[in-house]
């Protein structure tokens, strides 16, 4: 089984479910805070592979929902610059296993990559379950 570096937004219910599925499949999950991680352009870029730039973004971000960021028309450099300044724009989770990188949690893709119990089939494990137009999801405070 794999050691998964899992970059999440603490308090995100979907990230919690995703980590539980990985653990149930026998993987060891090391969770890290995506929002406080020290990102560089090169390090962050690895996670997106050959995906189109528009698929790099967290569509639940308040700045995207509010129309402030036109993610569909950004170039790679501009997108990365925005994400470094505002990590809430980054699609979650970011995962690293043995020097291979992924963004998002498509159960079929994770199954093909490292293996995942089929309990995830049919579940939406990326859309924010707390999504309300008037109330953007906030980072929950946790004690150290």
- Which positions are annotated as active-site residues? 12
Greatest Cα pair distance in the chain: 41
Burial 66-99 (b: 16+ CB within 10 A, else e): eeebebeebeeeebbebbbebbbbbbbbbbbbee
C-alpha–C-alpha distance, residues 37 and 46, integer Å: 15
- Collapsing DSSP to helix, strand or coil, 30 comes out as strand
């Amino acid at each position: 089984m794999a050691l998964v570096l899992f970059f999440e937004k603490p308090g995100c219910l979907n990230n919690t479910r995703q980590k539980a599925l990985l653990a149930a499949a026998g993987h060891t999950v090391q969770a890290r805070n995506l929002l406080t991680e020290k990102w560089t352009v090169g390090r962050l870029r690895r996670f997106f592979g050959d995906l189109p730039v528009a698929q790099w973004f967290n569509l639940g971000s308040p700045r995207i929902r509010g129309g402030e960021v036109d993610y569909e028309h950004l170039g790679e450099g501009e997108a990365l610059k925005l994400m470094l300044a505002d990590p809430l724009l980054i699609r979650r989770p970011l995962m690293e296993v043995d020097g291979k990188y992924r963004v998002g949690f498509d159960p079929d893709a994770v199954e093909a990559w490292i293996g995942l119990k089929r309990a995830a089939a049919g579940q939406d494990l990326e859309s924010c379950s707390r999504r309300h137009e008037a109330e953007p999801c906030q980072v929950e405070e946790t004690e150290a």
